[in-house]
């Protein structure tokens, strides 16, 4: 778990203006958006959630997790004594 500063520290963000998020999601934000965009456009939790690119990323991540869960369940049903 990491913390994302809603206004980047390099742009004057404060320590208390942050939100917890997984490393993969945090990396996605900084790989996808410039610090200026994060500061000026995506500077609240609501704005991040409403952003189309963020929404797609989270949907893909959720779908992949559900697929992993489904595959694990199917595997365990095929081989009931198998762990994982």
Any idea which of 8-22, 29-43, 69-83 has the lowest mean pLDDT?
69-83
Q: Is the dihedral of CA 71, 77, 78, 82 positive or negative?
A: positive
17-58 pLDDT per residue, tens:
889 999 999 999 999 999 999 999 999 999 999 999 999 999
Cβ pair 18, 5 in contact under 8 A? yes
Using CA atoms, how far residue 78 sits from 6, 30, 59, 66, 72, in Å, is: 46, 41, 28, 18, 10
């Amino acid at each position: 778990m990491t913390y994302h500063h809603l206004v980047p520290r390099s742009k004057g963000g404060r320590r208390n203006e942050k939100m917890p998020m997984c490393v993969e999601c945090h990396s996605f934000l900084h790989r996808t958006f410039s610090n200026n965009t994060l500061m000026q456009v995506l500077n609240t939790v609501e704005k991040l959630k409403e952003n189309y690119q963020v929404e797609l990323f989270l949907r893909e991540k959720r779908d992949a997790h559900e697929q992993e869960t489904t595959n694990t369940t199917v595997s365990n049903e095929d081989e009931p004594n198998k762990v994982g």
